[in-house]
Structure formats: structure tokens, C-alpha cells
Amino acid sequence: MTPTPTPTGAGSPPAAAEPPVGLPRLLAGVAGGGPPMDLLAHLSRHGPLPARGRRGPALIEVLERSGLCGRGGAAFPTFRKLAGVAARRGPAVVVGNGTEGEPASAKDRRLLTAVPHLVLDGAALAARAVGAPDAILAVHPAAAPAVAAAVAEREARRMDRVRFRVAVPPERFVTGEASALVHWINSGVATPTMRPPHVSERGVDHRPTLVDNVETLAHIALIARHGADWFRTLGTPGDPGSSLVTISGPVGRPGVYEISRGMTVREVLQAARGATEPLQALLLGGYFGTWLPSGEAMELRLCAEGLRPAGASLGAGVLMALGVGSCGLVATARLASYLADQTAGQCGPCVHGLAAIAGELDRLARRAGRVDLERLSRWGREVEGRGACHHPDGAVGMVRSGLRTFAEEVRLHQAGACSAASDAPVATGAGAAAGA
């Protein structure tokens, strides 16, 4: 590696690029399935990182005005998370969470393999803002080569002060939970830990740790360049900006799309060339999300305030469509079995409760005899809130919405019948979507 005279690296960086107008933002200049955007292409499209003069408090203040909320599922205000870590003493650590354990999501892999430098920019900026000499990119195995190559490009140009490390945690649902991810980095065991302490107080190597979803970091990279007002030109006042979503199920072109928060479900499905068969329901938000009848879902706006009245949220940006030919109870039971199987195995109510709930749902789906629905909902109430993490809560919420949305199907199954035209397998993953 040759030392370069200018520590800001990147030779003669191109002048700041024009901010993108409209969509796409994160995926601007990305052709479907092409190679990752390299550093030069990235810099000529987006311009150099803002100068080091813009210190941490300035970035956090811009993020506050931007209204950016986390894109990993919990939608926590990003500025608050950064401020919490920045306020701690001693060197911090930034963890970019791109583990994407959610089976119905492919957006983080897509982002990392298409525009890794946007995520690394965001991680470098966040590291600067919270006082972190180290940033760990914890990514899905499919994204690791692209991210590692991007890190190497930057190191060759001595672009960043922060030291990057790429890590590939085990592919389990619970690995993406912040405390589980930190636990894995520290000890090789990807299970959630008790709070307090929160990872922002004591995380990687006992240092204050910022765990942000990789899409959140990519938005930070653009907000730092173009400002809060620019970010707000898309989205709604209460939930600004753009967002990546993964659309699966019977639609013309399943895959990852960038949307403006506040677009309706109908508009977003149209972007995926619309439904290929009449839809009966949609799962919004992912495996921890909410089943809604398609009639109710279609005109909902995909933003916090639009989804709240329906008891839903966009989660990690998952829209899973279910056609009229499929059985909603079979789909719900499959998701429940998956989540029961994916318990970290630490907390009794989660281990036993989810297994029992999934078992009864499976009997109901298979029409293997009448199921005590009263007991099923009691189990749901009793399991909720009794884990060290929110795994049982998320699973129970999804099951509850399934039983509500497919209430007529429940009645039919209890009587030994089923409305579905076929017992064809229900698409419950983003396998096909990931390639699009």
C-alpha cells in the first residue's frame, strides 16, 4: 500500500454530484444483477464524502432534522441512537447490521452487493459522529465478497480513518437482533443477552456500540451529502425518505424495489408488475409482521402513520402477497413453525410456548381435528413479553393477525374443509426475489 499525501484519499475526487431527484436514491445507477458499483463510479455518481470538518454533533443534528428512522425493522429515530452512543465515554464501535435473517427480505443483500460503498460511507460517517475507530460490517454470506472488495478499494486509497472489518455471522433469524449480534462478535455465540446493559452502553469489547441496519447507514451517506431538506422531498412529513422493500408472492416481477414512504400498497405492487392472480391477503413487515386482507391492505400507505391504524408497520420492508389459490392458514402455520424453530432456545416461554402454538396451528392447517382456539389465544397472551428479546412477541403478533385475517378459513378448517383451490406450496421466502 503506497502512502498518499492527502489523507482524504481518493486522488482528485470529483466535485459534489447533483442530488438525485425522485427515485431511486440508494439504487441510482444500479442495473439489475450487475457487478457492485466500484469506488470511482460511486464517487462520480454521489460525490466525495463531506469534509471531516463536519463533526459528529453536526451530522447528528442533520439526521434529527431529516427524520430518518432505522430501516432494520424497529424504526427507531436514527439521530437518537447516534446521540446515545456519542454521549458515552471512550472509543465506540459501529456495527453495520446486514445479516438479514428475515427470510422474506432480500433488500440488505441487494444493497450491499449493488452499492457497498454507500453503506461503507454511512458507516464511516457514523463512526466519525460517535467517536468509533472501528466499524464491523456484519453481513449475509452472499454479500460478503462485494463488501470485502469495497473495503479493500478504500484501504488502498486510504480513504477512511475508521478501520473496517467484514464479518459473516451464522444465518439464523435471531442473529440480527442487536444484542445477539454483539454477543456473537464478542464470543461467537449468536444469542440475545439480557438488558441492561444495552449495547449502546456496553457492546463490542465492552465499548459503546452503535448497531444500525445497513440501509440506514446508506441513507446517512446521502443525507450527509445532500442535507435533511433533500431527504424530506420524498416520503411523508411523519415518515420521510425512501425505503427498500422486498416484494414476494404471485406478482409479475418479485424482487427488491426502492419506494417513497407513503406510497400505497397498490402502487408498490404495480411497480412489481402487479398481481398475477387475485390476492386474498398480504403480509406486511415480514415474519414478525401483520397479515391483512388484500381489500384492506391495497389502499394503505406504506409509512408509519398510514399503517398504524391497521396495527401494522413496514418492518424491514417486506410485502408478501398471498393469492386466492393458497390457504392463509397453511401460510401462517408455516411461518409460525419457522419462528418456533428459530428460537435462540434460551427462554422457556419462547421455546415451549412457540412450539406449542406452532404445533396447534399445524394441526389446524392440516385439518387434523378441532383446535382449542381459546387456549391458543391464551398461550399467545402468556408468551408475549416473556423473552429476553422480542422474538416471542413478534411471532405471536404475526399468528394473531393470521387468525384474524383468515378467520373464515379457521372456521372451515375446524369443520374439516379448506377454501384453497390447491395445496400448492406457499412462497414464504425471498429466494426468488433476491435475484431480481
Partner 1 sequence: MREVHLRINPIACEGHGLCAELLPERIRLDDWGYPLIAPDPIPPEVLEHARRAVAACPTLALALERRRH
Contact 269, 247 (CB under 8 A): yes
Measured from the CB of residue 366, what is the shortest distance to partner 1 in angstroms? 22
Per-residue interface string for the shown chain with partner 1, residues 134-153, x marking contact by CB under 8 A: --------------------
Furthest C-alpha separation in the chain:
78
User: Which range binds partner 1 by CB under 8 A, 25-33, 88-96, 100-108, 345-353?
Assistant: 345-353
Binding of residue 366 to partner 1 (CB under 8 A): no
> Closer to partner 1 at the Cβ: 288 or 379?
379
**Residue 150, C-alpha cell as written in the block:** 469495497
The length of the chain is 436
- Give me the least distance between CB of 99 and partner 1, in Å please: 21
Element housing 97 (H / E): strand 93-98
Residue 388 contacts partner 1 per CB under 8 A: yes
- Relative to beta strand 318-323, strand 279-284 is antiparallel
Residue whose cell numbers read 414512504: 261
Closest Cα to residue 98, out of 86, 113, 85?
Answer: 113
In the list 352, 366, 367, 404, the residue contacting partner 1 (rule: CB under 8 A) is 352
Phi–psi pair at 143, nearest 5 degrees: -100, -10
**CB closer to partner 1 out of 17 and 356:** 356
Q: Is position 347 an interface residue for partner 1 (rule: CB under 8 A)?
A: yes
CA distance 217 to 118: 8
Q: How many angstroms separate the CA atoms of 51 and 210, rounded?
A: 22
Does 358 engage in binding with partner 1 (CB under 8 A)? no
Nearer to partner 1, 324 or 356 (CB): 356
Q: Are 371 and 360 in contact (CB under 8 A)?
A: yes
Q: Which residue's CB is nearer to partner 1, number 347 or number 427?
A: 347
Q: How far is CA 39 from CA 119, 159, 160, 420, in A?
A: 12, 10, 13, 50
Q: Does 386 bind partner 1 (CB under 8 A)?
A: yes
Contact pattern from residue 158 through residue 197 relative to partner 1, giving x for each residue in contact according to CB under 8 A and a dash for the rest? -----------------------------------xx---
Q: Which of 142, 228, 310, 356 binds partner 1 (CB under 8 A)?
A: 356
Residue 172 Cβ vs partner 1, minimum distance, rounded to whole Å: 17
Residues forming the site for partner 1 (CB under 8 A):
193-194, 346-350, 352-353, 356, 379, 382, 386-388
